[in-house]
Amino acid sequence: MSELYAGLMSGTSLDGVDGVLVDFSQATPQVLGHISAPFPAGLRQELLQLNTEGPNELHRAALAANALARIYAAVVSRLLATCQLDAANVCAVGAHGQTVRHRPQQFDGTGYTLQLNQPALLAELTGIDVVADFRSRDVAAGGQGAPLVPPFHQAFFGHLPGHTGVLNIGGISNITLLNAAEPDSVLGFDCGPGNALMDAWCMAHTGADYDDAGAWAASGVVHAGLLQVLLNEAFFTLPPPKSTGRDLFNSAWLQDKLTGFEALAAQDVQATLTELTARSCADCVRHFAPASERLIVCGGGALNTHLMERLQSLLPGCTVSSSEAFGLPPLQVEAMAFAWLARQCVERKTASLKSVTGAQGARILGAVYPA
Ligand SMILES: Nc1ncnc2c1ncn2[C@@H]1O[C@H](COP(=O)(O)OP(=O)(O)OP(=O)(O)O)[C@@H](O)[C@H]1O
Ligand SMILES: CC(=O)N[C@H]1[C@@H]2OC[C@@H](O2)[C@@H](O)[C@@H]1O[C@H](C)C(=O)O
């Protein structure tokens, strides 16, 4: 059986899809190709709106899922062309889909997580087996359904000595805490907002999709009072297992917290939102793994130089660096994780960690749509 898998991740920042083609035949997985495809502005807007209640949601969600599958299929096709390979060479595509709701553990037992996707169409268009719906089984087993990447982080970075944190800063941020001396006690949970609030504020006030390298935030001053109001959010002090999403950290949440701070300059709010991400992530390391000697950062936030500097300054005893320094470009890590998760499913191996999601036990994640 082929050891080539494609991984497709379109995450909570809603910027588009990252796709990789990975060869798992060696001890260390090799990325053969990487394509980033931005979403057309209309689809991005529609996906953002589908994150909250709206009219005619079922029909709109079905159309958005079809549109996503066509973009995913185009990314797979470009990956194959780049690598000069055929569909027949690839064992499976792992397609995460687009999270539009994440409410895993409601007290009334109605918890669910919803990723828009059309894996049947993707299988039809690519001619490759598709693995999708990775999160539902963990939720069914009583887990958070997220984060799912910690076991991949362990597989890739677990050989490093001592204590290692792996921090993904996408729209939402999540962390994996590894201890070489105790490989069975991996911790992982969502830290809070990553880039989502910064992106929304930046778009509203500068028209740019994101604050390139954090330069705009760096031109502002952190407002201590606002920062404290933001940090007072109950999610930050919840014990793991925990996960979150745009269901909580969205523009309405920010507008509410900004009440009374209307006179603040826009760049000072941006500086404060960047500090919120840095503080909430650094606090997770300080609280749960104070002995960490390195923090490996991936996701788009690793390209935010100002944010990286703030993290380093908040964690003086720990070396903060981009995953690039460990051979993994930051925008490839999550897509690679979904290639790995697809392989686990195809090989009928469990992929969830009870210590991370809080489920009853480890489960085989995903559903297979044969080509
Ligand atoms: N040069 C840059 N400077 C600052 N920020 C950047 C840069 N490039 C990307 N980003 C940020 O990274 C984000 C995209 O990150 P990424 O693709 O990791 O998110 P995602 O996968 O959608 O989210 P999640 O991990 O929550 O699922 C952009 O929205 C932007 O905020
Ligand atoms: C429900 C959902 O889509 N969660 C995402 C989101 O984006 C970051 C963080 O919140 C993480 O929990 C998760 O993504 C990664 C890929 C994960 O499951 O590990």
- Say if residue 320 is in the same domain as residue 344: no
Is residue 300 domain-shared with residue 179, that is, in the same domain? yes
What is the total count of domains within the chain? Answer: 2
Measured CA to CA, the distance from residue 126 to residue 113 in angstroms comes to 26
pLDDT score recorded for residue 109: 77
CA-nearest residue for atom 20, ligand 1, is: 11
Q: Are residues 278 and 362 in the same domain?
A: no
Residue among 21, 145, 124 nearest 369 (CA) = 124
Band of residue 1 on the pLDDT scale cut at 50, 70, 90:
confident
Averaged confidence pLDDT in the chain: 97
ipTM of this complex prediction, to 2 decimal places: 0.98
Is the confidence at residue 287, as pLDDT, over 80? yes
Question: Do 59 and 205 belong to one domain?
Answer: no
| Same domain? 131 vs 180 | no
Same structural domain, 37 and 155: no
Half-sphere exposure of 312 (CA within 13 A, CB side): 12
Regarding the beta carbon of 133 and ligand 2, being less than 6 Å apart is answered: no
- Residue 116 near ligand 2, beta carbon < 6 Å: no
Average pLDDT over residues 67-89: 98
290 pLDDT higher than 80: yes
Q: Could you tell me the distance, in angstroms and rounded to a whole number, from the CA of residue 13 to the centre of ligand 1?
A: 6
* 41/114 same-domain check: yes
Q: What's the burial of 7, exposed, middle or buried (CB within 10 Å: 0-12/13-18/19+)?
A: buried
What is the mean pLDDT of the segment spanning 322-332?
A: 97
Determine the pLDDT at residue 317.
Answer: 94
Domain CATH code at residue 43 = 3.30.420.40
What are the tens digits of pLDDT across the range 87-119? 999 999 999 999 999 999 876 778 999 999 999
Q: Verify that 183 and 315 share a domain, yes or no.
A: yes
Query: Mind listing the pLDDT tens digit for each residue in 119-176?
Result: 999 999 999 999 999 999 999 999 999 999 999 999 999 999 999 999 999 999 999 9
Residue having the nearest C-alpha atom to atom 3 of ligand 2: 99
Q: What are the start-end ranges of the H helices in 148-291?
A: 150-157, 196-206, 215-218, 224-231, 251-257, 266-288
Task: Answer yes or no: do 21 and 127 share one domain.
Answer: yes
Predicted confidence at residue 110, as pLDDT, reads: 85
Spatial distance between the Cα atoms of 210 and 213, rounded to a whole number of angstroms: 9
Q: Which two tokens stand for residue 121?
A: 């169409």
Q: Distance between CA 354 and CA 143 in Å, rounded?
A: 8
CA distance 49 to 54: 7
Q: Please check whether residues 139 and 197 belong to one and the same domain.
A: no
The structure's pTM equals 0.97
Q: Is the pLDDT of residue 295 over 70?
A: yes
Q: What is the mean pLDDT of residues 75-90?
A: 98
Give the amino acid at 97.
G
**Domain residues for 251?**
150-326
Give me the pLDDT at residue 273, please. Answer: 98
* Distance between CA atoms of residues 18 and 172, nearest Å: 16
